[in-house]
Amino acid sequence: MRSAFIRSLIELAEQDSRVCLVTADLGFGVVELFAQKFPSQFVNAGVAEQNMTGIAAGMALCGKVVFTYSIANFPTLRCLEQIRNDVCYHRADVKIVSVGGGLAYGALGASHHATEDIAVMRSLPEMTVVAPGDPVEAEEATRALMTRAGPAYLRLGRSGEPLVHSENIDFQIGKAICVADGDDVTLIATGTMLHATVQAARQLAQEGIATRVLSMHTIKPLDVDAVYAAAKDTQAIVTIEEHSIIGGLGSAVAEVLAEFSDCHVPFKRMALPSAFTSVGSREFLTKSYSLSVEGIVDSAMRILQLARTRA
């Protein structure tokens, strides 16, 4: 995803000199080409994320469209006060890009596990929150956020995320993408969990279960219409995210479902516990917390069985 992001950012910078990139002294294997091509549009703020955010806000208030870039928690939690007061309060055109959302840096421990970032970012006024599900969505999200005024958070995987979409997609901020359709159960995934969710839907199809898969790439603003349609058309809903069970996609969907007066549907959140997670590879950790294909299949079958029992 990060390669898709920087590729799109370079294309945007070639077309618009307002596009700037500010990094916190890392990611040079990715951002180096941008820095070489656009030296006057690139700033290395050093290992000082608070300064990075303040610089970006000042540049944005002078007419630039600024993307800040760092890994995991560093461009979000480390400089949260600056994001809230300098960026959001002034509706500055700053796009905060986090690479390695979730457990991508799992072996480096809790300091590098970005597992509360969606909850924090979506609580901020004026903030748009986007977590693309594959490189195609990452490219489209970068372009879409360029044209959307105001603060935004773009949550990316680390590298090597497989393609889910094989052709052009209709990517719109605040509109989910229906990757597969069915009327038994709806799986709503965000970010790096999309590929595993699609694989789980294929396994469910082999069991005769027709599964709707929604890529909810935008958590704020949430696609309420897509959630409502899922609640009306299918027997159960499961949300899947590489994030704490508190405050992320599952919470956002639950908030919406709770306000529907004309439909109620069995609902399950698949996410990480509200605890500091273990140390290990992303593959090891996602499996440990049942965020694997097998875990998704099992949860979907259980909630669907519950729905049918109630019926």
> What is the residue-level pLDDT of the chain in tens, covering all 311 positions?
899 999 999 999 999 999 999 999 987 788 999 999 999 999 999 999 999 999 999 999 999 999 999 998 999 999 999 999 999 999 999 999 999 999 999 999 999 999 999 999 999 999 999 999 999 999 999 999 999 999 999 999 987 889 999 878 999 999 999 999 999 999 999 999 999 999 999 999 999 999 999 999 999 999 999 999 999 999 999 999 999 999 999 999 999 999 999 989 999 999 999 999 999 999 999 999 999 999 999 999 999 999 999 86
Domain residue limits, the chain: 2-156, 177-310
Per-residue pLDDT, 30: 85
How many other C-beta atoms are found inside a 10 Å radius of the C-beta of residue 155?
30
Per the CB < 8 A criterion, the answer to whether 267 and 258 are in contact is no
Per-residue pLDDT, 269: 98
The pTM for the full model equals 0.96
Q: How far is CA 278 from CA 76, 241, 272, 296, 310, in A?
A: 21, 17, 11, 20, 37
Per the CB < 8 A criterion, the answer to whether 110 and 276 are in contact is yes
Sheet with 267-272, strands from edge to edge, namely 177-180, 211-215, 185-189, 236-244, 267-272
Contacts of 32 (CB under 8 A, 6+ apart): none
Closest alpha carbon to 100 in 281, 269, 273, 287: 281
Q: What angle do CA 104, 193, 96 make, to 5 degrees?
A: 60
Per-residue pLDDT, 145: 98
Per-residue pLDDT, 168: 84
Domain 2-156, what architecture?
A: 3-Layer(aba) Sandwich (3.40)
Check for a shared fold between 2-156 and 177-310: yes
Closest alpha carbon to 94 in 50, 44, 145, 141: 145
Q: How far is CA 243 from CA 90, 116, 142, 159, 176, in A?
A: 28, 6, 21, 18, 19
**What is the gyration radius of the CA atoms in the chain, in angstroms?**
19
Task: Give, in words, the CATH class of 177-310.
Answer: alpha beta
